[in-house]
Amino acid sequence: MPPYLFLEIDKAKRKARAEGRDIIDLGIGDPDQPTPGYIIEALHKAAQDPVNHRYALDQGMPALRRSIEGWYKRRFNVNLNPDTEVLPLIGSKEGIAHFPFAFLNAGDYSLVPDPCYPPYKGGAILAGAKPYLMPLRRENAFLPDLNKIPKSILKKAKIIFVNYPNNPTGATCDRGFYAEVIKFARKHNLIVVSDLAYSEMSYDGYKHSSMLELDGAKDVVIEFHSLSKTYNMTGWRIGWACGNAELVQALAKVKSNIDSGIFTAVQFAGVAALEGPQEHVTNMCRLYQQRRDCLVSGLKSLGWEASNPKATFYVWISVPKKSNSISFASLLLDKADIVATPGVGFGESGEGYIRMALTVSEQRIKEAIERLRKIG
């Protein structure tokens, strides 16, 4: 396995800061705003009760599973059975990485978008299987071309990963693409893993769908979601998987042999997040949209080619033709004290791009643009 991308970036940041440099960090997607107060209060109250200091239930508290069921019904009009079709996770990342252990054996393939969130590939490798990379190209709106997957691979493939709104490209998809994936999965006997972590971070009136909204989706789909980005809870480590009961319970079986559940007080905080006031989400989207507009317009004023995403808090940016993504990201850090993520770190098809995250203030984004302007 390669070194985990963000650990390597963090080493470079620490070194630069140790040298006393003023770093503008547009690298990792970690919200800079605090967790809403009502969620913190729920944690505080629950943490004071000694009953919650013991092992948690592996399947998650019934109250949390019902909260997830209710949120999916309100947001997507999707009905879930909280007892069999919902599984709370210690962050969606661990569930995504552990899921291949339930279904992949040596010699099997997992169909993975490229570029992608690294655990899609890492989970398959750790399970002894092989990731087959599906290139995401700008000319195809950063959607995989399913028809280009070789038949020899499809015969050995068991899982296909889909992630929209997409990390790292910021691309979105419509229900037609979801329908195509479901049809493709049925034809080739594939499990569909839908990563929906960024569904609530959208702009310009855009609203993303859940794959589970489509007819027949529950036959083949397990969907992963997270409280991390929506409620500024990245460090709290809480998310969930939902959808097809057999797939959800298979993941639960793997997890029962690996961990002992989410700290119960954090689960109470999750309930508060999902059932509490949602104005925070609207306000965060407004804030990120302002930052997106500031960054994209600033980059374009410098002659850069940058996408204007309808969702996520990432901007996917083409690097100059004579540079590669690692050398260009290194240049930005060395010459402008700006951290950006090299696209190749997300996969070979990410070469030629860098990713910037909207996780600093608008003032700092403007300062970053001026630094770039100064170095030409």
What pLDDT score does 220 carry? 98
The answer on 305 and 259 residing in a single domain is: no
The answer on 314 and 261 residing in a single domain is: no
The answer on 153 and 61 residing in a single domain is: yes
User: Mean pLDDT over all residues of the chain?
Assistant: 96
Q: 84-93, 177-186, 326-335: which range is least confident on average?
A: 326-335
Angstrom distance (rounded) from CA 245 to CA 279: 32
Mean pLDDT of 213-232: 98
Q: How far is CA 154 from CA 109, 113, 122, 253, 266, in A?
A: 8, 15, 20, 26, 40
Instruction: Render pLDDT for 346-370 as a digit per residue (tens, 0 to 9).
Output: 999 999 999 999 999 999 999 999 9
Mean pLDDT of 297-307: 93
CATH of the domain at 16: 3.90.1150.10
The answer on 143 and 240 residing in a single domain is: yes
The answer on 319 and 188 residing in a single domain is: no
Angstrom distance (rounded) from CA 164 to CA 179: 14
Q: How many domains does the chain have?
A: 2
The answer on 252 and 128 residing in a single domain is: yes
pTM score, whole prediction: 0.96
The answer on 293 and 262 residing in a single domain is: no
Instruction: Render pLDDT for 236-249 as a digit per residue (tens, 0 to 9).
Output: 999 999 999 999 99
Q: pLDDT exceeding 90 applies to what percent of the chain?
A: 91
CATH of the domain at 214: 3.40.640.10
What pLDDT score does 8 carry? 74
- Binning pLDDT at 50, 70 and 90, where does residue 143 land? very high
Mean pLDDT of 37-41: 98
Q: Is the pLDDT of residue 16 over 90?
A: no
The answer on 283 and 271 residing in a single domain is: no
- Binning pLDDT at 50, 70 and 90, where does residue 13 land? confident
Q: Pick the residue with more confidence: 220 or 7? A: 220
The answer on 286 and 264 residing in a single domain is: no
Range of the domain at 165: 38-275
What pLDDT score does 322 carry? 85
Mean pLDDT of 213-224: 98
Q: Is the pLDDT of residue 172 over 80?
A: yes
What pLDDT score does 160 carry? 98
The answer on 258 and 284 residing in a single domain is: no
Mean pLDDT of 37-49: 98
Instruction: Render pLDDT for 246-297 as a digit per residue (tens, 0 to 9).
Output: 999 999 999 999 999 999 999 999 999 999 999 999 999 999 999 999 999 9
The answer on 307 and 224 residing in a single domain is: no
Domain end among 244, 275, 306: 275
Domain end among 275, 310, 338: 275
The answer on 266 and 157 residing in a single domain is: yes
Q: Is the pLDDT of residue 108 over 80?
A: yes
What pLDDT score does 332 carry? 95
Mean pLDDT of 214-218: 97
Domain end among 275, 290, 312: 275
